[in-house]
Structure 1
Amino acid sequence: MLSANTKMYAIELVESGPQLELVKAEHVMPEPGDNELLVAIEYVALNHLDAKLARDGFEQWEYPHILGLDAVGTVVKAAKGVFPAKGSRVVFNVCLSQQGMLREYAVIPNHSVSEIPDSVGSETAVTLPNAGMAALLAIEKLQIQQGDTLAINSAQGAVAHFAIQYAKMRGAQVFAFAQKSHHRRLLSLGADFVFDCEQNNICEQVKREVGNGGFDCVLNTQGGASFLQDLQRLRFCGRIVCLNGFGEIPERLLFEKAPNIGVVSVAGAWLANSLCAQQRLCFMGQQLLNDVASGKVKSPEVSLIDFDVSAVRDVLSRLLTQTCQQRPVIKIPHQVD
């Protein structure tokens, strides 16, 4: 049963900006409607996207805004016949335009959650949704087949962690671009070759490994100018997907490469108000959980962070400037009788 207390706490962003102004605020306990679940939030994983948006804002946000897109919790209230039932552990990714999960309780649509197997810990499950779903969508859009060569730029990030493993399952040869400190981890995930992205002779290294033809597929994680660099590494009629958008592509390069271009957006399932896409996120969440439970996929290492304004601000600041070797996960206290 829920505690008799009808109040809860959340950590809010007062307004967007580089100062990352956060406060802890008291809120009224939410009440679930039809086909909704009241979830006691236990863990929230923070992404680079959370940090970027805390700094830059999002046009649909109202302030103060609660951050946090990936969460795990226990269902504490659900209408009769609504699945998952009370007591179930669930993991989910929430709508980017709405209030996030850095709070003790939240109301979640029941079609958007994935039930966590007993063999998967909650702190592990919370690292899977946003990054894992983006990786699955990217691998599908790239139509990776046995023998394809796949290049991943900024491969030290969370999406690449999963993309490397799923690409190898499909028989691809994976080439990762990352700082030297990440090379051992990426090789342990299955990358066939890791380029030091801070070296000046990357072009020569690439030609030495794959020849002049270029890669069959490219996963671009940064967007912007890096997309054009990756496009130049693509073979003629190759396939490239981008996670963060890109600017104008020179006409000469388009004709030279004739690329098949795709964009990956996990948030699009919510922003487009597509029920089918939201349910698909649920199915992908279940796939990620099952693959981790079976040992097919390695989850990222976790660093647990207190539900504290200063601690959360420090994590967001670090995410703006570096790739964390361990995934920052906020442990949220709550009372369930």
Structure 2
Amino acid sequence: MPQTINLPKSMRAIELAKPNEAIRLADVTIPIPECNEHELLVKVEYVGLNSLDAYFAKTGFSQWQYPHILGLDAVGTVVQAKQGLFPTVGERVMWHANISQQGVLSEYAKVPNFAVSVVPKSIAASDAATLPCAGMTALIALDKLQITQGDTILIEAGAGAVGQFAIQFAKQRGADVFTTAAKHNHKLVKKLGADAIFDYHDNNLCDNIRQVLGPQGFDAVLDSVGGDSTKRNIELMRFCGRIACLKPLPRFDNELMFKKAPNIGIVSLAGAWLTNSLCAQQKMSFMSNQLLDGLAAGTLYTPKVTLIDFSAQHVSEALQKQISDGFTGKQVVNILS
């Protein structure tokens, strides 16, 4: 018999009827999801918003069925679990959801038990909700870049959520960290450990970076911007340097590829679910534990949290803001509101 507590038959959720540029969403009431023998039912407390949520709300995703519930990063309390499953009822958990299935902007959500991490009692649930997508993306990117002691790395958009985590992890691995950020965020990224900071609005950005870096070029680049910035970043790399890209690749000039011979890596959390890789899904849980351990130990700092009301209008406005130029911090939907 499953462990459980008294549950309602329906729940509030926020749905996307179809992709649209304005990110029009709807408040709905739908049945609570039914779990299979390896899934937990979680009462969702907080959902961290990501730029990916806004992007797919506008463009759609090939594996979504509509109406679709958005949201990938969740923290909540287990309210139903089959006998013998861990975590058990009453445990607070955090996870990054399967992008091909319904999301987590709802009062309840189901998730495979092996994909969650237990949140220590010392960590605020709203802070934990900032971790999964941005934190794991930063970790995967630095692993692909093979960052070690003494490497020089350029981290684009250092004040963004991924950038903030990446700066901290790169410094912990002994790298010299260069980053770009708007001027009003220079103090923030300096506090996180950045060694050299450049204004990404600067028309002389490349020349100013080379003046500080010297002629050798970066060992590695975490490219979260894409497009022409990716080409520029490869120009700033040493021969056979390493670049981890979070956005689709632009069309490269053959001469640039011949000149720099870059090692290009693509970062995707979604692939763990889309390829049905149980190993990759479990690895995400291990990374989540690493993030939670760092936060509990005081060696990792989260972006500043802005709480968003659980309503279609407020979430729509927040998602539009999520992809606006220069957005800093992390928006977290308070499902309990």
Query: What band does the TM-score fall into relative to the shorter chain?
Result: over 0.9
8 Å Cα contact 1:225-1:246 kept in structure 2: no
Partner in structure 2 of residue 25 of structure 1: 28
143, 149, 162: which is aligned to 1:159? Answer: 162
Aligned to 1:203: 206
Distance 1:328 1:189 in 2: 19
Contact 2:161 2:329 (8 Å CA) reproduced: no
Task: Note if contact 2:160-2:329 (Cα within 8 Å) is conserved in structure 1.
Answer: no
Partner of 2:16: 13
Please list, as runs of the form range in 1=range in 2, the aligned pairs for 1:182-201 lying within 5 A after superposition. 182-201=185-204
Determine whether 1:67 maps to 2:70: yes
Structure 2 CA distance for aligned equivalents of residues 322 and 290 of structure 1? 32
Q: Deviations over 1:56-86 (max 9, x none)?
A: 1111111111110000000001011100011
Cross-structure match for 2:227: 224
Instruction: Specify which of 255, 267, 270 is matched with residue 267 of structure 1.
Output: 270
Aligned Cα RMSD in Å? 1.2
Q: Which secondary structure does the structure 2 equivalent of 1:95 belong to?
A: coil
Say how many residue pairs are matched: 334
Deviations 1:222-271 (A, max 9, x none): 22222111111101111111011202221111111111111110111111
For residues 271-304 of structure 1, give each alpha carbon's deviation from its aligned partner in whole angstroms, at most 9, with x where no partner exists: 1110000000000000000011001111111111
- TM-score for both structures, normalised by structure 1: 0.96
Q: 1:259 to 1:4 in 2, by over 3 A?
A: closer
Give the Cα separation in 2 of the matches to 1:129 and 1:174: 23
State which drifts further: 167-176 or 26-35: 26-35
CA apart distance, 1:156: 2.3
Deviation at 1:95, TM superposition (A): 1.1
Q: Would the aligned equivalents of 1:42 and 1:74 in 2 still touch at CA under 8 Å? A: yes
| Structure 1 SS opposite 2:290 | helix
Segments of 4+ moved more than 6 angstroms: none
Match of 2:90 in 1: 87
Match in the other structure for 2:286 = 283
Q: Hey, what does 1:254 align to over in structure 2? A: 257
Counterpart Cα distance in 2 of 1:237 and 1:322: 31
The runs of 5 or more residues in structure 2 that have no matched partner are none
* Identical residues among aligned pairs (%): 48
Q: Which residue of 1 aligns with 2:324?
A: 321
Give the unaligned 5+ runs of structure 1: none
In structure 2, give the amino acid aligned to 1:295: G
Distance 1:139 1:4 in 2: 42
**Residue 15 of structure 1: CA displacement?**
1.1
The answer for the alignment partner of 1:57 in structure 2 is: 60
For 2:114, the aligned partner's letter is H
In the alignment, the residues of structure 2 paired with residue 172 and residue 135 of structure 1 have an alpha-carbon distance, to the nearest angstrom, of 14
DSSP-derived class of the 1:15 partner: coil
Task: Name the counterpart of 1:117.
Answer: 120
Query: For 2:49 and 2:121, how far apart are their aligned partners in 1?
Result: 23
Partner SS state of residue 76, structure 1: strand
Task: Please report the TM-score for the alignment, with normalisation by the length of structure 2.
Answer: 0.96
Aligned-residue offset at 1:325: 2.6
Q: Which residue of 1 aligns with 2:140?
A: 137
Following superposition, the deviation at residue 9 of structure 1 comes to: 1.0
Letter in 2 for 1:248: R
